[in-house]
Amino acid sequence: MRSLTVVPAVLLSVCVLGLGGCDQKKETAAKTAQTTTPTPAAAEPDWCAEHGVPESICTRCNSKLIAEFKQKGDWCKEHNLPESQCVACHPELKEKFEAMKPKKDK
Ligand SMILES: [Zn+2]
Ligand SMILES: [Zn+2]
């Protein structure tokens, strides 16, 4: 018995693995694109792009938060916003939130 037959088998499997890997990647990407639901917020971090504040403290999207902020005394009646988010009264907050804003590389 000679073990020469093992060599072609190994070479073959390397080829198959190499090609298969490539094909699999493409397939997975295609599948992901197809199954992804049209909700851009799904992969988004905690950020409300519309209002420029973290979603978790966005009183304009989540009115339940308003009572909390009012209770803390963190409320600007004039602008209907938490004082800590009111850039009209506190222009320096704009910079702060700008820094918190998640950066998109794509
Ligand atoms: Zn919002
Ligand atoms: Zn204000």
pLDDT tens track for 69-96: 999 999 999 999 999 999 999 999 999 9
pLDDT for residue 36 is more than 70: no
Ligand nearest to the CA of 78: 2
pTM, 2 dp: 0.56
Query: What phi and psi, each to the nearest 5 degrees, are found at residue 105?
Result: -85, -25
Average pLDDT for 13-37: 56
Tell me, what's the pLDDT at 91? Answer: 96
Assess whether pLDDT exceeds 70 at residue 5: no
- Encode pLDDT of 47-67 as tens digits: 999 999 999 999 999 999 999
pLDDT of residue 104: 72
CA-to-CA separations, 39 to 1, 36, 51, 59, in angstroms, rounded: 62, 8, 18, 21
pLDDT tier at 44 (50, 70, 90 boundaries)?
low
Residue in the block written with tokens 């794509």: 106
Q: Which ligand lies nearest to the CA atom of residue 83 in the structure?
A: 2
Neighbouring residues of the ion ligand 1, judged by CB less than 5 Å = 48, 50-51, 58, 60-61
> Hey, which residues does 53 pair with through a beta bridge?
48
How many A from CA of 39 to the centre of ligand 1?
16
The yes-or-no verdict on residue 38 having pLDDT over 90 is: no
* Structural domain spans, the chain: 55-100
